[in-house]
Structure 1
Amino acid sequence: MTEGREPWTRGPRGDALLAAATGVFVVLTTVLGTGDPIAVRPVPWTGWVLMIVACAALAFRRRYPVTVGVVTLAASMVYYPAINPDGALLVTLIIALYSLASAGRTVAAGVIGGLAIVGSAFGEYGTDASPLGDAGMFLLVSWLVAAVAVGAGVHTSRRSREEALRRRAIEERLRIARELHDVLGHNISLINVQAGAALHALSRGGGGGGETPAAKALAAIKETSREALRELRGTLGVLRQVDDEEAPTAPAPGLRRLPELADRSRAAGLAVDVETEGTPVALAPAVDLAAFRIVQEALTNVTRHAGAGRVAISVGYGRDDVTVDVSDDGRGAGSRASGGGSGIDGMRSRAEALGGTLEAADRPEGGFRVTARLPYGGAA
C-alpha cells in the first residue's frame, strides 16, 4: 500500500464498493424466486427506482449519514407495503443505522430505527395484512436494534483507542519538554553566563570595551543565547500546557520581531536590508510563526554556508497571502548542499503545512533566494 493513502476498501471507494455489493444482493434476493427451478420474478419500475436509490445512497454513508438513514428509511417504508415481490431492501436501512451509530450519531440512529419499528408495527398490527407475523416482527426489531448497538459499540471502541493515542502523545510531548529543559536549557544557560563573564573580563582588562570585534562577537553571543533561552522557555510552555492549562507561556515569535532578527545577523557581520510591501495585516499565529521561522532559517543558512556579505529581506502583504523573500549575494545552492542539513526541506514543510509554497534557487545575478507564500487563513 502506498504510504499516506487509505486502503482501497476504505473511504469513498470502499463505500461505493459496499453500495454496489449491496445492490447486487438486494436485486438477486428480489428477482430470484425460491422455487425449483428458480424463477425470475418481475419487478415494477417503481421497485427498481427504490432499490437503486436506497443502495446508491450507501455510497455516501460516511459523508451524509443522517441523510442516508432518512433515504433508506423512506425507500423501505414505501417499498414493502406497495411493491411485490418482497426482497432484502431492508438491509440498506440496517447498514445506514450502523453507519449512523458508528459515527457517533446514536440519537439520530435511534430515532430513525424507532420510526422503522413503529411503521412496521402499524403495518403488522394496525391492518389486516400482517405480512411478517410475530416471529418476523421480532427478527425485524432485533436486526434494527442490533445495528444501532453494534455501531455504538464500534464508536465507543474507536474513541477509546483515540484517547489512548492522545494520552501517549501527551506523555511523549512532556518527555520531550523535560529532555529539552535538561539538555538545551542547561547548555544555553552556560553559554550565556560564560559569554557575559568573558565580556566583563575583556572590558575590565582594557581590551577596548564593547568596541573591539571580539567584544562585539561576545555581546552577540550573549544576546543570541538569551533570546534562545526565551524562545526555549516559550516552547516548553506550549509542550507542558497539555498538563497545566494555566502554565505561563511566552508569546510565539512573529514578523513583529523581524528587526531583532536582522540586528543579530548584522552583529554577525552581514549587511541586512529589510523592507515591507503592502499594508501589514494581522496574521494567524501559525502563519506569523511560520513566516518568522522561514526568515530565521534562511538567515542561518546564509550565515553558515553562503559566504554572503549582504542579505535583503522583503515581506509583502497581498490580497490572499503574505510573501517573505530572503535574497543574498553569496555562493548559491552548492554551498547549502554541502552543508548536509535539512533547512530548506524544513522551511518547505512549514509552508506546505499551511497550504503555502516555498521556492529556493540560485539568483541569475548571483547568490541564493528563498521565497515563501503563506495564505492568510493557512491555520488557526
Structure 2
Amino acid sequence: MQHLDLTRLALPSGPRADMALAAVVLVLSGVAEGQRLGPDGNAGASVFLSWFLATAVCAAFPLRRRHPVAVGWFTVLGTGVYHLLSTVDGPLVVIPVAALYALAAQGRIRDTVAMAAVMVVGVGAGALAGTGDVNGTAVFMLTGWLVAVVALGAMRHGRLAYAEEQARLRATQERLRIARELHDVIGHNMSMIHVQASSALHRLPKDPGLAEEALTAIKQGSKEGLRELRATLGVLRQVDEAAPTTPSPGLSGIDDLVTSAARAGVDVRVERSGSLSAPPAAVDLAAYRIVQESLTNAVRHSGARHVVVRIHHGEREVTLDVQDDGRGPARAGHAGGGRIAGGSGIAGMTERARALGGTLDAGPGGAGGFLVRARLPFSDHHEPIGGAADDQDPAGG
C-alpha cells in the first residue's frame, strides 16, 4: 500500500498562488451569479456584464507582479462597477483586497491608501443610494478590513526591509572581519619577509653567510604565512561543517611573535604583570592581534631596533603597551585618521578594541618612538560586546 507523501502537498506560491486565488474567486463569483438566472436559465444583459467584469478582474490579478499599481486600480474600479451591476454580494472583493495587501507589502503605501479610500467612498455612496445589500454596516466592516489589510501589508514590508538591512549589515561585518583577519594573519609574515629580503639583498655582496641566514628566515616566515593562509581559507570555505577545533591564537603564543620579530633584527622584551589566569577567548585573540600588528608596524614602518611589550592582566580587563624606539609610522591624512600610509593597521586594531567595548590609542611616545596603548575589558558573561562575537580567528591558529 502506497503512503501519501504530505511533503508534496505544499500550497502554491508566487505566480501560481495568484492564478489559484483568481481561479477560486472566479468560480465562486460564477456560482453567485448563477442565482440571478431566470427560471428558464436565461441570463439578462446585466448578468453577462457582471460575468465579464468578474472574469476581467480575476484575469488581471496574476499580472500584479509586473504592473502592481495598474492592476490594483483596475481590480478596485472593476470590482466597484461589478457591485453596482450585480444584486448579489459576490466574493470578487477578495481580489482587490489581495492586490492592496501586495501593494502595501511592497511599500507603496500612498497608492494603497488611495485605492482603499476609493473603495470606501464607493461603497459608502452605494449605501447612501440604497443599493441592494449595501448598508452602513457593510461600509464600516469594509473600512475595518481595508485598514487591517493595509496595516498588515505595511508590517510585512517593514519586516522584510529590516531583514534585508540586517543581511546587508552582516555581510558588511563579515567582509570587514575577513579583511581584518587576512591583514593580521598574512600582513605580519609578509612584512617580516619583506624586511628579511631587503636585508639579504644588502648583505649578499658583503657577507654571504649573513645573507644565507636572512634567506633561511624568509623561508621559515613564508612557510608560516602559507600555513596560516591555508588555514584561513579552509575555514572560509566551510559552510555547514562543524566549527574548527584548533584554538585561536592568544597571548600564550606571543613568543612566536617575538621570535619572528627577532629574525627581522628587532629585539622585543615582554613584561607581564597581574593575574596569571587566561582572559576570555575574544579578549585573548584581540590582544594577540594588537601585539602582532604593533610589532609589524615597528618592523616595517617605524625602523625600530627595540620594542617593549607590557601586558597587564587585571580582574576585569587586559591592558597593553607596545613601545618602540623608532621614528613612528608615517601618517596618511590628519592625525586622527588612524591609518598608516599603505595600510590599515591602526584602524584594524582600533576596531578590535572598540568591538570589545575597549579603547586603543596610538601615537608618539613620551620618551620618543611610537606607543600603542590598548584597554580590553571583559564583558559580564565573558563574551564580546558590540558585535565582537563575529570577531573570531578563522585561521584556527
TM range (shorter): 0.3 to 0.5
Structure 1 length-normalised TM:
0.48
**Normalising by the residue count of structure 2, what TM-score does the alignment of the two structures yield?**
0.46
Bigger Rg, structure 1 or 2: 2
